[in-house]
Amino acid sequence: MSELRFRVKPGGRLTGEVRVPGDKSISHRSIMLGSLATGVTRVKGFLEGEDSLATLAAFRAMGVAIEGPDNGTVEITGVGLHGLRAADEPLYLGNSGTSMRLMSGLLAGQSFDTTLTGDTSLSGRPMKRVVTPLSAMGAHIDTTLNGTAPLVIHGGSPLHGIEYDMPVASAQVKSSLLLAGLYADGRTCISEPAPTRDHTERMLSGMGYPVQREDNRVCIEGGHALSAIDIDIPADISSAAFYLVGASIAPGSDLLLQHVGMNPTRTGVIDILRMMGADIEVSNERDVGGEPVADLRVKYASLVGVEIPAALVPLAIDEFPAIFVAAACAEGQTVLTGAEELRVKESDRIQVMADGLATLGVAAEATPDGMIIKGGAIDGGSIDSHGDHRIAMAFAMAALRAHGEIEIHDCANVNTSFPDFVAIAAQAGLSISASNLDATA
């Protein structure tokens, strides 16, 4: 059995211009909502990573005609809200928690039964957080005793709207309930304890579906229709985050990141890095299909440790592996609290990052809901990414400030979100190579 490993030589800087792949969250939603719309939805900038391709394959299996992807272009001939048909076999969603949680809501309103499965990592992730509120809407969904996949969603159950106060800020839970709300009798309203990404609401509105938003509350009523649109997906700020950190920590760096999505529910990483002293310039701001987009120029800067404000945590939840690397290179101490959600991502990102940083000689202490990192020198070493794409990419960037080579194990899942990471990183100046090695060696 082979294993993909990264080897990254120490030092270097990031320069030039880079456009990272399309936003994964928006790519998922373009397939889901495009399939439920009337007409042909044309998508540019679609992320051809394993997660979004799993969503695409699932909707093809339910009878939707989808052309592409061809260089990021996809055409979806929508079947309307009630045009999906039962797949011939369980829908395998790989490593994609977004696919499984959002589709649980969407499929709860269908007339047929569906089984959703995933890989080992996804099969260990908590699904009760969507199953419980969906059950309150009238859905019938079976899980394992631990509340995990496979999920068996029993169709034909009439759904009704609910008022739901989310205990934890989660865009996936919010979106799952909104998608179920398309099929529910009456009004579904979700209140969130802190802002989370709002791509679902924006795309629903763009497709002509009425969505009411006020402060931390969003409401939707069943019975309306979706109309096909053209979607130009911006570059994913979660993927750009690795380059923002890499250029910030590597002396001599001056990097332009093009066409980056600047949705205000996603820009916490920029706010946190700027608090630490990062030099990030935003230019060419524009609106593309309802999503704000800009170019980001980032130069090397001396960073300082900070206490990360609680309000920024949900706005940067996927970017913390990269932010932890920035903290390791900062002068002083960085403290993160209120981020227990990181423990139930593709890996336990708090523990895995703390262990990896410690391997590289960084003083990093995992806490129940975050981490305390004291910046200092970074050594070389061997890191286990635990199959988590964001862990692997974060430690690759750490090599820019390391005193020795960093080897990162179990990197195949980088393909879930950033298939060309190695080539683009090397083009920008990172001394990185990838190889398939015998895992037993």
Residues taking part in catalysis: 318
Per-residue CA distances from 307 to 194, 262, 333 (Å): 18, 23, 8
Structure tokens at 221: 């009523």
Report which secondary-structure segment, H or E, holds 172: helix 171-181
Q: Which phi and psi angles does 73 have, rounded to 5°?
A: -100, 130
Strand order in the sheet with 187-191: 163-165, 187-191, 217-221, 211-214
Strand order in the sheet with 432-438: 381-384, 406-409, 2-8, 432-438
- Give CA–CA dist 3/318, Å, rounded: 24
- Give CA–CA dist 238/20, Å, rounded: 10
- Give CA–CA dist 412/385, Å, rounded: 10
Q: Which phi and psi angles does 188 have, rounded to 5°?
A: -110, 125
- Give CA–CA dist 341/319, Å, rounded: 12
Amino acid at 383: I
Q: List the one residue out of 158, 204, 414 whose CA is nearest residue 432.
A: 414
Amino acid at 179: L
Whose tokens are 């910030």? That residue is: 248
Q: 3: which strand partners?
A: 437
How many CA atoms within 13 Å lie on the side-chain side of 293? 19
Report whether 160 contacts 137 (CB < 8 A): yes
CA dihedral 162, 163, 165, 166 (to 10 degrees): 30
Going by DSSP bridges, is the β-strand pair 432-438/406-409 parallel, antiparallel, or unpaired? unpaired
DSSP state at residue 153: E
Q: List the one residue out of 78, 84, 82 whose CA is nearest residue 58.
A: 84
Number of residues assigned to the chain: 441
Q: What sign results for the dihedral spanned by CA atoms 246, 248, 254, 258? A: positive
Structure tokens at 79: 């079947």
Q: 221: which strand partners?
A: 187
